[in-house]
Amino acid sequence: MNPPAVYITTSRSPSPRSRTLVNALALITPARKIIRGKKSLHTLLSECGADSMIAVVFERFGNPAGLTLYVRGQPTQTLAFSGFSVSRGLKQLVDKAGVARVVGSSKTPRSEMALRLKEFLTSLPPAQGKLITNIDVFEKNGKEVVVLTLRGVQCVNFYFRDN
């Protein structure tokens, strides 16, 4: 039996930054990107299958603010972040090899949202591919940062405020 598929998508009318984030996550994780278009969330959930997991990027004031995870058609958790950054040239970095899985460092994030994001990404089922994305956690300018690294390049950084 195949593991359940993991999909990532945006809201109905995403901002360019949301599309950038979804494209980057689809490249450096085993998740597959779905172009949502005008599909309702209900239609999207039924098309993906009963056992699939869907991560929907939600926005706040036109910028991506987090992910809402749907498992078996039900929202299970929301992972909010205060900001993100994406490196350029990710398509050339992945270079048709594909990402097999995401592994985490031994560091435990201090904030609950950073911990839940790390747990979500490391729990993604393996896919066909040769590359491995690493997750690391550190502090920068008073913010906690979760970094996704591929081939030694920091691809995506998620920032979390200390509350």
Split the chain (163 residues) into runs of 10 and give each run's mean pLDDT: 77 92 94 89 84 92 93 90 92 85 91 92 90 93 92 93 70
Report pLDDT for 128.
Answer: 86
* Residue 1 maps to a domain: no
Distance CA 46, CA 50 (A): 7
- 3-class secondary-structure state, position 119: helix
Report pLDDT for 1.
Answer: 42
* Residue 105 maps to a domain: yes
Q: What is the CATH number of the domain that holds 23?
A: 3.40.50.10480
What is the residue type of 137? V
* Residue 84 maps to a domain: yes
* Residue 94 maps to a domain: yes
Which domain, by its residues, includes 104?
6-160
Residue 143 near residue 162 (C-beta atoms within 8 A): yes
Domain total in the chain: 1
Report pLDDT for 163.
Answer: 57
Which ranges of the chain does DSSP label H, i.e. alpha helix? 16-28, 41-48, 90-94, 112-122
